[in-house]
Structure 1
Amino acid sequence: MSVTALRILHTEASLGWGGQEIRILTESQGMQARGHQVWLCAPAQAQIYQKAAEYGVPASALPIDRKQLRGVWALRQWLKQQRVDVVNTHSSTDTWLAVLACLLLPKAIRPVIIRSRHISAAVNPSTLNRWLYGRAVKKVVTTGEVIRTVLCRDLALPASQVVSIPTGIDLLRFQPATTKPWLPEQFGFPAHAHVIGIVATLRSWKGHRYLLQALAQLLAEPPTQHCCVLIVGAGAGWQPLQTQIATLGLTGRVHLAGNQKDVVPYLQSMDSFCLPSYANEGIPQALLQAMACGLPIVTTAAGAIPELITHEKNGLVVPVKDASALAQALARLVQEPALAKTLAQTARQQALQQAGIETMLSKMESLMASVVSAASHGQDSVLPPQHTDA
């Protein structure tokens, strides 16, 4: 089914860089390839604004990192000039600013708003938030079904208001390698090392510190003394991890690679993948990427991860914040190569069937077209708050 070309604005108040920002830019690329016009508005100091050009996404720097009137006004002026069909917001601050900016526009040029919710952190069920999610925006998009269920429950939203559209990845890029792009020695590891990898922003809730504690336990046992950890990502946790590496005596066994534009060769150089998150996860892109690259996985049941990984079917799932359980699961992948191979193959097949970027793009395109069409038939794009409690 052909879709009329849309004019789409993404807004993002976050200054950081992670899966959320990567999804915005890759989705924007995909929509442009389908003939839609796409823009991004973000703070000048935001990493997504600074990286937008690399993805070919036109971006405007606006003061939308805080809930201030100047951000509302700047966004209103931008929208008045560009006349878009839909605004897709991604964080709390830019959602509130976009809603207020749209309310200040004449109805004839007022776009519809879609709120994307990428993480599983709880939303305060206040009257204002129930209005924001239930009436101010036309639809809420989550990256996992569990996030959708919790939002509907906590904010008393009708099931039709929230839709789950998991992130998709480029399956032509994320594939198993016939030979490793980089050998362990190139990361400063012993030649025979088993490389355990993680790709994640260095935030506390990603659980890096538990992975390092697990590594210390693995190195204390002869069957797993050859394990090392490759960490791809950057963020506020860099220095604490450096300190922990030194304290645990892991120097030479952990390599911090920082942010990488192309994580594929890093994934293809790993022997196993670990994501020990303990909170806030939606559907982590890094897990999808590891699955597509045919890596055996150890992770937790945080957020929407159980929608991807089933224990002993396509990965191993351990309790959150449990370094000993993490070490035991990682040791199994080292000591039971047949199990590791089966888990990896099953995970890759699932990724091939469910995780393609075109599936995500088609669902987002269909959703945006439907809400724009509904608005064009007389349904208000933004409904002002009512005085009665929802």
Structure 2
Amino acid sequence: MKSLHMIGSTHMGGAERWFTRFLAAMLRQGEDVEAVVRRGSELAQHHLAGIPHHELPFRTVWDPFSRHAVSRLIARSDAPIVQTYMGRATRLTHLKRGRGKVHVSRLGGYYKLAPFRHAHAWIGNTKGLCDWMIQGGLPAERVFHITNFADPARAVAADELHALRQRIGVLPEDWIMVTAGRLIDVKGHRYLVDALSSLPAEIDGQRLRLVVLGDGDLAAPLAEQARQAGVADRILWAGWQHDPAPWFHVADMVVFPSRDAETLGNVILEAWAYGKPLVASAFRGAREITRPGEDAWVVPCDDGAALAAGIEHVIRNPGLQRQMVANGLARIERDFSETAVIAQYRALYAQLLDNR
């Protein structure tokens, strides 16, 4: 069945990246989808190759022209499922129940629920988020848990990886830690800078280096923190990467230091998919999906010293690294595969249309 997917963001972030990954997966699985994105957005300019899409103004939630454009496009579409992401697209989408189309709002975070209440059904990507929505007054029979999937690790040519290592000056004795995410408070980067400043420059003859994939409002403060801590020369601020695959391939470890408010944390799934040992903080998403000591080394949130200790412990224990990598790959296959997740969406859409 056809579905229409709407998001009103200007810039790329975790939700937007999931949007493109999800729609590409839907197409691979034989589903008929169309995207609706903000005119001139990063999504529209760089990320929708091969995905049928429309561009609308999506200016503000109070803009009558944007609301009219959304309503007109939905009325013209033959898609019975309209799925919205984030607050702007959801607030501009208003469908009356029983008129043949179903409005599904997909939440990937603990947002204020008021802008989402008028939807007909809601999807949360963690059980904790679904429980929170129900506690917030959304009807339990219309709240559904479907987790995210992990993309299979994309193969990257050896010469491309060699060129990347040359460009960033990776030496054979380097231990490369990669972290990914927007440079905003919830991602906890400041605790990772703290951790790096308390770690030795070398462990077992390996020089510790940190690569940060992402950009955001905290870029300048974090760079200044690193300078004052004396570790600026050990950090590469690589910026937002449209294709992070080469960076995950060159990594020796993935570190994900998010604060408790982080909902799921797709970087956990990426670390597993690329076969990298993972050190993560015990934010709510990690508490739900990781098995500490088995597929991830988990430390308290907001604690640079604990993060440093966890990183050092994993580096000094190759056997633990191999165990976590093997278990992480098994978790992807068993619990977070594309085929299984898309099948859950397909079944949910059919259920919602039967009950409309």
For normalisation by structure 2, the TM-score amounts to 0.90
Paired amino acid for 2:106:
S
- AA in 1 matched with 2:112: V
Shift of 1:118: 0.5
Q: Distance in 1 between matches of 2:219 and 2:225?
A: 10
Gaps of 5+ in 2: none
Which secondary structure does the structure 2 equivalent of 1:54 belong to? Answer: coil
The answer to whether the aligner puts 1:116 opposite 2:111 as a matched pair is no
CA distance in 2, matches of 1:178, 1:308: 32
Instruction: Give the superposition deviation at 1:310.
Output: 2.1
Partner of 2:65: 70
Classify the secondary structure of the residue corresponding to 2:238: strand
User: For the Cα contact (< 8 Å) 2:34–2:53, is it kept in 1?
Assistant: yes
1:57 aligned partner:
52
**Which secondary structure state, in structure 1, belongs to the residue aligned with residue 284 of structure 2?**
coil
Residue 331 of structure 1: which of 305, 312, 319 is its match? 312
Q: Which residue of 2 aligns with 1:43?
A: 38
The amino acid of 2:119's aligned partner reads V
What is the alpha-carbon distance in structure 2 between the residues aligned to residue 122 and residue 60 of structure 1? 25
- Preserved CA contact (<8 Å) 1:14 1:65: no
- Please state if 1:149 is matched with 2:144: no
Counterpart residue number, 2:173: 192
Q: CA deviation at 1:186?
A: 4.0
Task: Give the deviation of 1:185 after TM superposition.
Answer: 5.4
Which of structure 1's runs of 4+ aligned residues deviate more than 6 A?
Answer: 175-180
Q: CA deviation at 1:317?
A: 1.1
How big is the shift at 1:112? Answer: 0.9
Q: 1:178: Cα distance to partner?
A: 10
1:319 lines up with 2:300 in the alignment:
yes
The residue aligned with 2:220 is: 239
CA contact (8 A) 2:124 2:145 kept: yes
1:225–1:244 Cα change, 3 Å: farther
SS at match of 1:234: coil
| Counterpart amino acid of residue 117 in structure 1 | L
Q: For residues 309 and 177 of structure 1, do their structure 2 counterparts lie closer, same or farther at Cα, with a shift above 3 Å needed? A: farther
Q: TM-score if structure 1 supplies the norm length? A: 0.83
2:238 match:
257
Distance in 2 (alpha carbons) for counterparts of 1:88 and 1:82 = 13
Structure holding more strand per residue: 2
Is residue 161 of structure 2 the alignment partner of residue 181 of structure 1? yes
Higher relative contact order (CA 8 A, sep 6+): 1
Secondary structure at the aligned position of 2:122 is classed as strand
The 10-residue stretch of structure 1 (197-206 or 269-278) with the greater mean CA deviation from structure 2:
197-206
| 2:278 matches 1:289 | no
Q: Deviations over 1:79-131 (max 9, x none)?
A: 222243111011122212102xx34x9x65x5210010111x2535xxx56xx
Whole-Å separation in 1 of the counterparts to 2:328 and 2:27: 30
* CA contact 1:9–1:84 (8 Å) conserved in 2: yes
Question: After the TM superposition, which residues 199-278 of structure 1 pair with which residues of structure 2 at under 5 Å, given as runs?
Answer: 199-219=180-200, 226-278=207-259
Structure 1 SS opposite 2:191: helix
2:18 alignment partner AA? R
Deviation for aligned residue 1:65: 4.1
Q: Which residues of structure 1 form unaligned runs of 5+?
A: 376-390
2:49 is paired with a residue whose SS is: helix
**In the aligned structure 2, how far is the partner of 1:250 from the partner of 1:57?**
45
AA aligned opposite 2:70: L
Query: Residues 145 and 304 of structure 1 are in contact (CA less than 8 Å); yes or no, is this contact kept in structure 2?
Result: no
AA aligned to 2:224 is: T
Per-residue deviation, 1:357: 1.1
Displacement of 1:262 in angstroms is 2.2
